[in-house]
Structure 1
Amino acid sequence: MFRTSDIVLIAAMVGAAAFTYQTKHEAENQLDAVRKIQAQIRFEEDTTDLLKADWSLLTQPSRLQKLAQTYESELKLQSVDARQIVSLKDLPVRPLTIEDITSERFGGVAEIAPDQTTTGGIAQ
């Protein structure tokens, strides 16, 4: 009936079909994972766009001006005078002082006696 070569070929065909099915199944799982990640990315992008829109709405100068006027007594804000805005070169230069700490002794353990601990490092 069946020869040995027929049985070997049928087994190879069944093995190839199983391998193909497994590969297809793994590819579909990976595609599902990619789609989930893409959906998460779209959600995050939409959330970011929404937050940017909220931020631009909340920081509108006219809205901030109304809030400043409404809460003027609590905040005690004052208007910026044009004389308060200066360039960097108009600011006074602070003197730069660097302390010399190389000659100071800090009184650590190493000043009392050298470390005599034997380790696996370089021998002296």
Structure 2
Amino acid sequence: MFRTSDILLIAVMVSAAAFTYKTKHEAEEQLIAVRKIEQQIRFEEDSIDLLKADWSLLTQPARLQKLAETYQNELQLAPVEARQIVGLNDLPTKPVDVQDTSSKRLGGVADSGGTDKVVTGAVVR
């Protein structure tokens, strides 16, 4: 009837079919995951586009001018005068205070006058 080689070949074919099915199933799961991530990316890109559109509407000069006029009393805004604009060289410099730490004792083993009490397994001469 069946020889040993026939049974062995049938087992190899069944194993190959099972491996192929498993690989195909994993590939389909990965494809579903990739499509889900691509959908999330599209959603985020659409959200960014919507936020950019909102920002451009909110920062229109005509709208800002109207708001500034409406809330003039609360904001107390005034136009910028030419004397208010200065260069970097016109700003006063901040004095630099450098402390001398070379004469200070910083603590530690050197200040205690002794040796380190931690046993490290080193050979002492």
Q: TM-score by structure 1 length?
A: 0.81
| 2:109/2:115 contact within 8 Å kept | yes
Name the residue aligned to 1:3: 3
- Cα 1:64–1:121 shift into 2, 3 Å: farther
Deviation at 1:101, TM superposition (A): 3.2
**Structure 2 residue 97 is the aligned partner of structure 1 residue 97:** yes
Q: How many residues in Structure 1 have an aligned counterpart in Structure 2?
A: 123
| 2:109/2:116 contact within 8 Å kept | no
| CA deviation vs aligned residue, 1:22-78 (integer Å, no higher than 9, x gap) | 000000001111111111111111111211221222122221111111111112222
Name the residue aligned to 2:81: 81
- Matched-pair identity in %: 63
Name the residue aligned to 1:62: 62
Q: TM-score by structure 2 length?
A: 0.80
- Cα 1:80–1:12 shift into 2, 3 Å: same
Q: Distance in 2 between matches of 1:117 and 1:58?
A: 68
Deviation at 1:95, TM superposition (A): 3.6
Superposed, which structure 2 residues align to 1:98-117 within 5 Å?
Answer: 98-105=98-105, 113=112, 116-117=116-117
Structure 1's consecutive aligned runs of 4 or more residues displaced over 4 angstroms after TM superposition are 108-112, 121-124
SS in 2 for 1:67: helix
Superposed, which structure 2 residues align to 1:5-84 within 5 Å?
Answer: 5-84=5-84
Q: Distance in 2 between matches of 1:123 and 1:67?
A: 80
Long gaps (5+) in structure 1: none
- Cα 1:119–1:85 shift into 2, 3 Å: farther
Deviation at 1:112, TM superposition (A): 6.3
Long gaps (5+) in structure 2: none
